[in-house]
Amino acid sequence: MPETREVLLLAFIVGLGSGLAAVLMLRAIHLVQWVLVGWFKTPSQSWLYLVYPGVGMLIAYLIVRYVIKDNIGHGVTKVLLAISRYDSKIKPHNTWSSILTSAITIGFGGSVGAEAPIVYTGAAIGSNIGRKAGLTYKNMTLLLGCGAAGAIAGIFKAPMAGVLFTLEILMFNMSMTSILPLVLSSVTSTTVTYLLMGDAVAFDNTLTPFNMGNIPFYVIFGIVCGFASLYFTRATLFTEDKVKAISNPFRRWALCAIGLGIMIFIFPPLYGEGYGTLTDLLNDNDTHSVGSTIFPFLFENKWFLPTFFALVFLFKVFSMSFTNAGGGVGGTFGPTLFMGGIFGFVVARYSNLLGMDLPETNFVLVGMAGLMAGVMQAPLTAIFLIAEITGGYTLLMPLIITSAISYATIRLFEPYSIYTKRIAKRGYLLTHDSDKAVLTLLKIDDVLETNFSPIEEGASLGDLLTVISSSSRDIYPVLDKEGRLLGTVWLNDVKKDMFDSSNYTRPVSDYMEKEEICAYSDDRMDEVMSKFEQTGGWNIPVVDRDGKWRGFVSKSHIFFAYRERLHEVSHD
């Protein structure tokens, strides 16, 4: 079977697997939540919010540390790294480990989303099926993308959003011919979800028809969403980095469990994904949306409800960061939707209290798209996902306006999304620049040459000639007893003396050149190329960080590997 036809068949299988995985995760989360909080009847029982999240985080952490023994957090970022650094290979355990740990984390009240873990799961399904089928890197990457698209499509019943998510966030250099497998996987996954969970949209709503007179408000709202997205991105990354700086994992867990429990106790909408709150706000059921609050008497003041949700918006970043840093497994996709909806409600309600007449449910929906477009820097995904999961195509115009302006606003201050910011700093982010993308994919081990004959320090020219007689190279590394590189000897430098036996006792150090610039075994390829520019040579020695010699890299070998890699990743 031609590989192009095989990819289509495998894309269908990956779509089935991703759809089933999405249904399994949703059912598992709902089951855990029903067991834990389904019996809550009065606000007095909400004291358990203090306990549940920490217990779930601890269980998930213990499973990750002692059973899985691998870091599985931040699934979308891990998928991007797999594409750029690991030949699109994802470990087999990721086909189930994220489902198990995130279901426990979210079911117990962890304030994160299930979307990033299911994307990681779907991508792992695609990657492992592609590896078993012996596909090339290009097609295995495509199948990985099919898994991610199917995961988003399945969990939201949104096939168009699944395709756009993969194109905008994961796979930058896709051609039109590669879209067919993505569409096939997304539609298959969505069909599986429809068959097993019904055809209702993810968020029921009572939207108001679009009013052209509100366009100026959506424009202003888009700008505000851009700044809200900037807060979300920077506050999340800052908080996680600070909390993870606590070296003792159990002390870190205790701090996060206490902090998260208190926040959820005071603000019940922070419990879990918060999608129930969004559904209430989309149906004008704002009183019920606050949950089992311990402060019901405060809602007699008309200003308290939007203030309450404004605080929910601000604290959601910290509750999410505490969940992830404290050992839980979840993503930022769900919290982005939640915070966007909350933000839209707060802006609309405050505006109405000041005398305007804005449709609050519409702003809840548009806010979801606005924040997603800014945080993920994926405006098309935001537009079509929100339209698909709410059936809100009547609001397509404000979705486009707000999402586009939010995206344009945050790009003025932040060039990377929350998924790409960390890996961009490390130099591992693939971009639309084909040359840079190929260099990012190349690793120094791909071009390392080791068929050289080293010589120990203290050796004589006679000893070197013995080595030369059995070597096919013209460079000879000089190493100390621990294998650290001291310098190199070039064949041309010893030619004038090698035929005079009276020179055979001369030490090799007389002919050795010290290497001022070496490549390290963990250097990125763009760093290696910069070192070539500094030296002006065609060969550079490679050493470990402790100075031990590994081999050499040459420009000619890099150019050859570059051409081969470019052929692998190019899409017809």
DSSP class of residue 74? S
- In whole angstroms, what is the distance from residue 286 CA to residue 314 CA? 18
Give the pLDDT confidence score for residue 188 in this predicted structure.
Answer: 96
Range picked from 219-223, 292-296, 521-525 for highest mean pLDDT: 219-223
How sure is the predictor about 237, in pLDDT bands with cuts at 50, 70 and 90?
very high
Give the pLDDT confidence score for residue 218 in this predicted structure.
Answer: 95
Range picked from 102-116, 220-234, 375-389 for highest mean pLDDT: 220-234
pLDDT of residue 55 exceeding 90: yes
Which one is predicted more confidently, 339 or 2?
339
DSSP class of residue 306? H
Q: Which of 38-52, 118-132, 379-393 has the lowest average pLDDT? A: 38-52
| Burial 348-376, CB ≥16 within 10 A → b, else e | bbbbbeeeeebbbbbbbbbbbbbbbbbbb
Give the pLDDT confidence score for residue 429 in this predicted structure.
Answer: 67
User: Over pLDDT 90: what percentage of the chain?
Assistant: 45
Burial of 463 (0-12, 13-18, 19+ CB in 10 A): middle
Residue 548: count of CB within 10 angstroms of its CB? 15
Model confidence over 188-208: pLDDT tens digits? 999 999 999 988 777 777 788
Q: Are 78 and 120 in contact (CB under 8 A)?
A: yes
Nearest to 291 by CA among 271, 321, 263: 271
Give the pLDDT confidence score for residue 539 in this predicted structure.
Answer: 85
In order of their start, the domains of the chain are 3-197 (1.10.3080.10), 212-425 (1.10.3080.10), 437-569 (3.10.580.10)
Give the pLDDT confidence score for residue 435 in this predicted structure.
Answer: 58
pLDDT of residue 52 exceeding 60: yes
Give the pLDDT confidence score for residue 572 in this predicted structure.
Answer: 46
pLDDT of residue 357 exceeding 90: no
Model confidence over 403-448: pLDDT tens digits? 999 999 999 999 888 888 888 777 766 665 555 666 666 788 888 8
Q: Are 103 and 328 in contact (CB under 8 A)?
A: no
Range picked from 46-50, 173-177, 255-259 for highest mean pLDDT: 255-259
The three-state DSSP-derived secondary structure of 510-572 is HCCECCCCCEECCCCHHHHHHHHHHHCCCEEEEECCCCEEEEEEEHHHHHHHHHHHHHHHCCC
Model confidence over 523-560: pLDDT tens digits? 888 788 888 888 878 888 999 988 898 989 888 888 87
Q: Are 267 and 311 in contact (CB under 8 A)?
A: yes
In degrees and rounded to multiples of 5, residue 549 shows phi and psi of: -70, 135
Copy the structure tokens of residue 254. 């205790």
Q: How far is CA 440 from CA 135, 301, 416, 433, 570, in A?
A: 21, 57, 17, 10, 14
pLDDT, average across residues 44-73? 86
Distance of alpha carbon 517 from its chain centroid, rounded? 34
Give the pLDDT confidence score for residue 290 in this predicted structure.
Answer: 78
- Mean pLDDT rounded to a whole number for the chain: 87
- In whole angstroms, what is the distance from residue 446 CA to residue 422 CA? 24
Give the pLDDT confidence score for residue 288 in this predicted structure.
Answer: 75
Burial of 221 (0-12, 13-18, 19+ CB in 10 A): buried
pLDDT, average across residues 468-476? 85
Give the pLDDT confidence score for residue 265 in this predicted structure.
Answer: 85
Model confidence over 132-159: pLDDT tens digits? 998 888 889 899 999 999 999 999 999 9
Nearest to 216 by CA among 356, 408, 52: 356
Give the pLDDT confidence score for residue 512 in this predicted structure.
Answer: 87
